[in-house]
C-alpha cells in the first residue's frame, strides 16, 4: 500500500496542472466505471480516463487507502490490478455513477442539440438517441435546456456552413474574407478545410491557412464571404487538429492583462471576445477580464461603447482611451 505525495506524483508523470479536485473527480468516476464492467482492462481504463497506466496505478493505490463507514466500522475498498485487469469490490457506497448537475445537464443538452442542427453531421441517429437518453436520465435537470434554442440566424454564417460542408465533401479549397476582431480588419485568405468544429457554443472551420502556413480556426459568423474553389485541398501531412477540449483561448505570457467594465448594452462583449472571466457588478454592470497581445482593438472598442463601458486596467491603457476620446471630441470643435 502506498500514499500519494507531490514527489510520488511527479515521478509518476502526473500532469503538473492537475488540481486535487480534478483527481478527486476522476477517482469518483473510476470506481463505478470498473464496477459496471466487473473486470476492467488496465490499458482500456487508462485510455478512457486520459492517463497513463502508471498514473492509473497511482490512482488505484490511493483508492486502496479509502475507508468507507459502512457496513463495518472499518471497511476499506477491496481492489486488485494483477495481470493487466482491474477488479473492485466492497465499494457499493460510491459505486453509483455521478449525476449531472442542472447547469451541466443543460449545457450538454444545448450543445448536443446545436450539433444536431449542423448539416451532414455523421451518425445523426446515434446523436438523437444520445440526446433522448440524456434527457431521460437527467429528469428535471433537463428542463431548463428545453427553454433555450441555439441556431444560426446570420445569412452569411448559414452560407459558410453550406460552403464548408460542400468543400469538405468534395475535397476543395475555399477562399474566405474573414473579420479579425483583434486587429479590427477583414483579411483575404485561401484555406484547405479539415473539419467543422463546435466549441463553447460556436461553430468553426478548422483548416490549413495558406496565408499563415499553419492550422487555424475560423469562426463561421466572422466569415464575411466564402467561395469554394476548383483547386483541390492539400492539407500537409504535418498538420494536426487543434485540441479544443479545454477551450480555444490560449493566453501568452506576453499578453496584456485588461479589465473592462460594461453596462447592460455592452454585455455582448463578454460573449463576442475571448475573455478569462466575467463578474456581475451593481446596477447590471459586468466586469470582464481578458488578455490580448494588441490593445489597439480594445481602445477602439472602448470608444465604441462610450458611456456604456470603461477600461479599469491597466492604467496606461485607460489614459490612452481618454486621450483618444478627447482627440475625437476636439475634431467636432
189 and 163 in a single domain? The answer is yes
11 and 88 in a single domain? The answer is yes
In the structure, how many helices (H) and strands (E) does the chain have? Answer: 10, 14
Question: What CATH number does the domain containing 59 carry?
Answer: 1.10.10.10
Q: For the chain, what is the largest distance between any 2 Cα atoms, rounded to a whole number of angstroms?
A: 85
159 and 128 in a single domain? The answer is no
Residue 108's nearest CA partner among 46, 198, 217 is 198
**Grid coordinates representing 100?**
449531472
Question: 174 in a domain, yes or no?
Answer: yes
225 and 167 in a single domain? The answer is yes
Q: Please tell me the distance from the alpha carbon of residue 166 to that of residue 28, in angstroms, as a whole number.
A: 44
Mean pLDDT, rounded, for 238-242: 85
Q: Please tell me the distance from the alpha carbon of residue 238 to that of residue 318, in angstroms, as a whole number.
A: 43
Query: What is the CB neighbour count within 10 angstroms for residue 317?
Result: 20
Tens digits of residue pLDDT in 110-162: 777 766 666 555 666 777 777 777 777 666 655 555 555 555 445 556 778 88
Burial-class residue 29 by CB neighbours within 10 Å (0-12, 13-18, 19+). middle
Which of 177, 197, 232 corresponds to the end of one domain?
232
Q: Please tell me the distance from the alpha carbon of residue 293 to that of residue 256, in angstroms, as a whole number.
A: 6
Q: Please tell me the distance from the alpha carbon of residue 318 to that of residue 51, in angstroms, as a whole number.
A: 45
Q: Please tell me the distance from the alpha carbon of residue 305 to that of residue 272, in angstroms, as a whole number.
A: 14
Phi, psi torsion values for 215, nearest 5 degrees: -75, 135
274 and 294 in a single domain? The answer is yes
Q: Please tell me the distance from the alpha carbon of residue 262 to that of residue 269, in angstroms, as a whole number.
A: 8
Tens digits of residue pLDDT in 59-73: 888 877 765 555 555
Question: 239 in a domain, yes or no?
Answer: no
What confidence category does residue 227 fall into, taking pLDDT thresholds of 50, 70 and 90? very high
End-to-end, the C-alpha distance of the chain in Å comes to: 80
pLDDT at 314: 92
37 and 113 in a single domain? The answer is no
Residue 177's nearest CA partner among 212, 219, 225, 209 is 225
Question: What CATH number does the domain containing 198 carry?
Answer: 2.30.30.530
**Grid coordinates representing 310?**
470603461
For residue 84, give its domain range. 6-94
Mean pLDDT, rounded, for 275-282: 84
Question: What CATH number does the domain containing 283 carry?
Answer: 3.30.70
pLDDT at 10: 43
**Sign of the alpha-carbon dihedral angle for 209, 301, 198, 119:** negative
Phi, psi torsion values for 96, nearest 5 degrees: -85, 135
Q: Which residues pair with 80 in a beta bridge?
A: 87
26 and 67 in a single domain? The answer is yes
Q: Which residues pair with 291 in a beta bridge?
A: 257
Element (H, E) at 82: none
CA atoms within 13 A on the CB side of 332: 4
**Sign of the alpha-carbon dihedral angle for 38, 44, 49, 55:** positive
Total number of domains constituting the chain: 4
- Mean pLDDT value across the chain: 77
Residue 189's nearest CA partner among 205, 162, 172, 210 is 210
Mean pLDDT, rounded, for 201-212: 87
Query: What is the CB neighbour count within 10 angstroms for residue 260?
Result: 25
What confidence category does residue 318 fall into, taking pLDDT thresholds of 50, 70 and 90? very high
Amino acid at each position: 500500500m502506498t500514499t500519494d505525495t507531490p514527489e510520488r506524483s511527479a515521478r509518476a508523470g502526473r500532469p503538473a496542472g492537475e488540481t486535487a479536485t480534478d483527481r478527486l473527480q476522476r477517482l469518483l468516476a473510476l470506481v463505478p466505471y470498473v464496477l459496471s464492467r466487473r473486470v476492467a482492462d488496465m490499458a482500456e481504463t487508462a485510455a478512457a480516463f486520459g492517463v497513463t497506466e502508471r498514473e492509473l496505478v497511482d490512482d488505484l493505490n490511493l483508492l486502496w487507502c479509502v475507508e468507507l463507514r459502512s457496513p463495518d466500522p472499518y471497511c476499506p475498498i477491496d481492489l486488485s490490478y494483477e495481470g493487466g485487469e482491474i477488479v473492485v469490490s466492497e465499494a457499493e457506497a460510491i459505486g453509483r455513477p455521478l449525476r449531472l448537475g442542472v447547469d451541466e445537464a443543460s449545457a450538454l443538452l444545448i450543445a448536443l442539440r446545436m450539433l444536431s442542427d449542423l448539416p451532414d453531421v455523421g451518425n445523426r441517429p446515434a446523436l438523437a438517441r444520445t440526446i433522448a437518453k440524456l434527457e431521460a436520465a437527467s429528469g428535471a435537470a433537463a428542463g431548463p435546456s428545453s427553454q433555450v434554442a441555439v441556431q444560426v440566424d446570420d445569412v452569411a454564417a448559414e452560407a459558410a456552413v453550406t460552403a464548408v460542408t460542400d468543400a469538405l465533401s468534395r475535397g476543395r479549397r475555399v477562399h474566405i474574407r474573414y473579420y479579425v476582431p483583434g486587429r479590427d480588419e477583414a483579411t483575404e485568405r485561401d484555406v484547405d478545410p479539415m473539419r467543422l468544429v463546435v466549441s463553447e457554443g460556436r461553430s468553426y472551420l478548422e483548416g490549413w491557412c495558406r496565408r499563415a502556413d499553419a492550422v487555424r480556426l475560423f469562426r463561421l459568423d466572422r466569415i464575411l464571404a466564402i467561395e469554394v474553389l476548383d483547386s483541390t485541398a492539400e492539407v500537409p501531412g504535418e498538420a494536426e487538429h487543434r485540441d479544443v477540449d479545454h477551450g480555444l483561448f490560449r493566453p501568452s505570457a506576453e499578453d496584456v492583462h485588461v479589465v473592462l467594465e460594461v453596462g447592460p448594452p455592452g454585455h455582448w462583449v463578454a460573449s463576442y471576445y475571448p475573455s478569462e472571466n466575467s463578474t456581475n457588478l451593481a446596477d447590471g454592470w459586468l466586469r470582464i477580464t481578458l488578455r490580448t497581445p494588441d490593445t489597439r482593438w480594445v481602445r477602439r472598442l472602448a470608444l465604441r461603447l462610450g458611456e456604456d463601458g470603461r477600461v479599469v486596467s491597466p492604467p496606461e491603457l485607460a489614459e490612452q482611451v481618454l486621450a483618444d476620446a478627447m482627440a475625437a471630441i476636439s475634431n467636432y470643435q
